[in-house]
Chains A and B, each alone.
Chain A
């Protein structure tokens, strides 16, 4: 471990997406965003759909969108298990808006409660994606 850095790992079911030593990560927890610095108290949290900010050299180096998952934090490590993750810069507004339209149609057509719930959940993810694109880059 490098002094003053926290080991950040982003893992999806298909592969290990990212593993590097960073200064700080801000993770969108279910109960609000939390920042992880070296020496953080150990915790496990669920994650809502949102953006993970990775800090290096005093500013945001990467912005990665995750569609929910789990985070495990130990004093020297922060592991994020995400089922879907992508770099914010790679997201295409047109595709997401189309997805949003399709999903809201599906939500209107949903026949039973279960289906509606499922579509609603996906709608939320799509909205969070849009928000991630629009979000101003705070340094």
Chain B
């Protein structure tokens, strides 16, 4: 049976934890709103880039001159998995889900006899995969989304990926990140970056794009534009993934902290009841002692 003082201390400690979790929830909510805004703002560029790329690639497609970023190296022996995790914890299943996906994916690839390399964006993903795939991790990037996700940071990663690809470090590159579906749901999504997969359906069901399905003139030439466009598209894809991941992280943290705050509240209620009961029992006991003492006289 804990003493009254013990209970008081417990209640105070849970209360201060609750204060922290509710502050973190508030901060995450504010960051989430900003993250959603910037994700929204980044959409037009990505959409137009995709449209342009589709039309340029379409006209080069069968040509032998397609650059390797589009055509691939012709084999798929070495896979590079880029995982976008967070730098900080306390965000529920955000990093765990991501790491679990990458782990099963990597194991499957290794079973097939492929070589797998891992490129970690964010400290937490690295921490979770280090024990099993320590020697597969070729690079860890930290503080990418600090103070906020920026395009130059994404471009740096894309440039590094392109350079590695040129050196022949890998044949296929897949980006794995948490896609923001809603505040309550974030799904781990793989996206093949290299060789770049163009979605044909995107232009087909888009009415506006269909009307401008005219034959473009290219200046200087299709191949030149394509070689310029592809690395940039890589940067845009990475940027988009980082933005989505950042929004997911904040949403996930917000939900986790909301739960924690509620749990702390329940715990305080329970402890307070317990405290009052103990106190009453104590008073009753004292009264009985006094009364029985008086009766004995």
Chain A contact residues, CB within 8 Å of chain B: 9, 11-16, 29-31, 41-46, 70, 72, 74-75, 77, 79, 81, 83
Asked whether, in the complex, the Cβ of A46 is within 8 Å of the Cβ of B217, the reply is no
What is the 8 Å Cβ interface bit string for chain B, positions 230-267, against chain A (1 contact, 0 not)? 00100110010000000000000000000000000000
Q: Is the interface of A mostly helix, strand, loop or mixed?
A: strand
Asked whether, in the complex, the Cβ of B214 is within 8 Å of the Cβ of A31, the reply is no
What is the 8 Å Cβ interface bit string for chain B, positions 194-236, against chain A (1 contact, 0 not)? 0000000000000000001011111110001100110010011
Q: In whole angstroms, how far apart are the Cα atoms of A46 and B217 in the complex?
A: 12
Are A70 and B217 CB-contacts (below 8 A) given A14-B42, A15-B41, A79-B48? no
Complex interface: chain B residues within 8 A of A70 (CB): 49, 52, 225, 228-229, 232
Chain B contact residues, CB within 8 Å of chain A: 38, 41-42, 44-46, 48-49, 51-52, 55-56, 150-151, 154-155, 212, 214-220, 224-225, 228-229, 232, 235-236, 239
Q: Is the interface of B mostly helix, strand, loop or mixed?
A: helix
Complex interface: chain B residues within 8 A of A11 (CB): 44-45, 48
Are A13 and B45 CB-contacts (below 8 A) given A44-B52, A44-B225? yes
Q: In whole angstroms, how far apart are the Cα atoms of A11 and B48 in the complex?
A: 9
Which of A13, A46, A75 counts the most B-chain CB atoms under 10 A from its CB? Answer: A13
Complex interface: chain B residues within 8 A of A75 (CB): 214
Asked whether, in the complex, the Cβ of A29 is within 8 Å of the Cβ of B212, the reply is no
Contact with B224, one of A15, A16, A46 (Cβ below 8 angstroms): A46
Q: In whole angstroms, how far apart are the Cα atoms of A121 and B122 in the complex?
A: 30
The 4 residue pairs across chains A and B that have the minimum distance between CB atoms: A43-B217, A45-B219, A15-B41, A13-B151
> 8 interchain pairs (CB within 8 A)?
A11-B45, A14-B38, A16-B45, A30-B219, A31-B220, A42-B216, A72-B48, A75-B214
Q: In whole angstroms, how far apart are the Cα atoms of A41 and B217 in the complex?
A: 8
Asked whether, in the complex, the Cβ of B215 is within 8 Å of the Cβ of A42, the reply is yes
Complex interface: chain B residues within 8 A of A43 (CB): 216-219
Beyond A45-B220, A83-B155, 20 additional contacts (C-beta under 8 Å) are A11-B48, A13-B151, A13-B239, A14-B41, A14-B42, A14-B150, A14-B151, A15-B44, A16-B44, A29-B219, A42-B212, A43-B216, A44-B217, A44-B219, A44-B225, A77-B212, A81-B45, A81-B49, A81-B52, A83-B151
